[in-house]
Amino acid sequence: MLAGFLTIYTLSGLAYAQQAPAKTETPGVKAEIEVLISKAEVSQKDPLKLNDAINKILDYGLYNKSASQATKSDVAARLVKIYNSLDDTLINTANKKQIIEFLGSRNKVPEAHEFFLSVLENGKGQYRAEALRAIYFGGIPGDDIYDKVKSLVARGIIKEEESLGSLKGANPQRALPEIQKFLATTKDPEWFVGIGHLLYYYKDPSLLDVLFQRYDYFKGLPASAWPEGYDPTLCISTEMLMKYIEVNEGVKLKKALEVFEDSGVFGNRKLPVLQKKLESANLATRKAATEFLIHQTEIGSVSRENIAPVLKDAEARETDKDLKLRLKSALKKLGPRVGGKK
């Protein structure tokens, strides 16, 4: 039964994966979209029916990318009209938010752009927040959007920290210095962690320096300064931390390894990355890697059986007298069971 079920899942998913989206709009697609949007229009007086109609539009957009720009513009204009006709009762609030989400996701057309500028300027708090969220995800990029968000901050309508994600979505390159500046100066641990996440977007380990530079400040804060569920290691993802470790040497590596140790995700499978560091020509790098590995062995994060040959090789290769001694004593401590004695 399980095999049959999985086969159906696999085939069904594969069949989907093989479906190449049509490049041009077909009459059928246009007709289907017309049915969906018309249904939303006639359901304006019934919030629940409208809710259902908008959901169908959202779902349709999810799997069909073949609508032309003209059709998308038409859909956007008609949805904006619906949005403007709705009150703020519970279901219509959800309907309005879903329209914002839809226009901020799949309809990069001028009508959607204008609509967003208007919601940012005139929308109530929750709709503005929904618009900022859509911009965060990159659905409505543009310098005018960027400037509008900045002006909201300048006028005290939203806080700087609340704006940075949307600025990144509106124009990632323009936002980068602002994000870096915030991370370099903020004293708020929760937002340091929260905004640190934004740097993942750029996928560039060299941009992470600011997080390591501020790490000691935040690590030094008393526990009472931290909101529940937060600590400084959470500002950097394991993946980006690994990339940073791979490309850095010396002092930077040492600091990254400290964060790595605090974040507690080192284990046998990540050993090869550190093994390479033990082969570095840079003595500070080798020292940092050695101390890190010795400590990871002591706390049981890597098994003695796995670490012993790595340290043995490093000891045999090591030219620095002090480091060689350190490696030797570490191997001795590992005990004869894992080859510590020669």
Residues 58-87 that bind another protein (CB under 8 A): 59, 61-63, 65
246 vs 320, beta carbon nearer another protein: 246
232 vs 286, beta carbon nearer another protein: 232
**DSSP secondary-structure letter at 67?**
-
| 135, burial (CB in 10 Å: exposed 0-12, middle 13-18, buried 19+) | buried
Residue 1 CB neighbours (<10 A): 5
**DSSP secondary-structure letter at 23?**
S
Q: Which stretch binds another protein (CB under 8 A): 6-14, 32-40, 246-254, 314-322?
A: 6-14
Q: Which stretch binds another protein (CB under 8 A): 37-45, 157-165, 278-286, 326-334?
A: 157-165
Q: Which stretch binds another protein (CB under 8 A): 115-123, 156-164, 282-290, 314-322?
A: 156-164
- Site membership for another protein, residue 3 (CB under 8 A): no
Residues 207-246 that bind another protein (CB under 8 A): 223, 226, 228-231, 234, 237-238
Q: Of 30, 41, 86, 138, which lies in the binding site for another protein, with binding defined by CB under 8 A?
A: 138
Q: Which stretch binds another protein (CB under 8 A): 72-80, 205-213, 247-255, 297-305?
A: 297-305
Q: Of 131, 195, 245, 334, which lies in the binding site for another protein, with binding defined by CB under 8 A?
A: 195
Q: Of 123, 165, 205, 340, which lies in the binding site for another protein, with binding defined by CB under 8 A?
A: 165
- Site membership for another protein, residue 316 (CB under 8 A): no
**DSSP secondary-structure letter at 299?**
T
For the record, the structure tokens of 231 come out as 């600590």
- Site membership for another protein, residue 263 (CB under 8 A): yes
Q: Of 83, 127, 146, 191, which lies in the binding site for another protein, with binding defined by CB under 8 A?
A: 191
Asked whether the beta carbons of 103 and 116 are under 8 A apart, the reply is yes
110 vs 335, beta carbon nearer another protein: 335
32's CB contacts (< 8 A; 6+ apart) are 60, 64
Asked whether the beta carbons of 89 and 45 are under 8 A apart, the reply is no
Angstrom distance (rounded) from CA 166 to CA 149: 8
Angstrom distance (rounded) from CA 262 to CA 241: 12
Q: How far is the CB of 94 from another protein (least distance, A)?
A: 2
Angstrom distance (rounded) from CA 147 to CA 136: 14
- Site membership for another protein, residue 2 (CB under 8 A): yes
- Site membership for another protein, residue 306 (CB under 8 A): no
Q: Which stretch binds another protein (CB under 8 A): 34-42, 146-154, 242-250, 255-263?
A: 255-263
274 vs 323, beta carbon nearer another protein: 274
Q: Which stretch binds another protein (CB under 8 A): 197-205, 275-283, 285-293, 318-326?
A: 197-205
253 vs 334, beta carbon nearer another protein: 334
**DSSP secondary-structure letter at 225?**
G
| 132, burial (CB in 10 Å: exposed 0-12, middle 13-18, buried 19+) | buried
Identity of the amino acid at 100: I
Asked whether the beta carbons of 297 and 333 are under 8 A apart, the reply is no
* Residue (of 35, 124, 113) closest to 87 by Cα position: 124
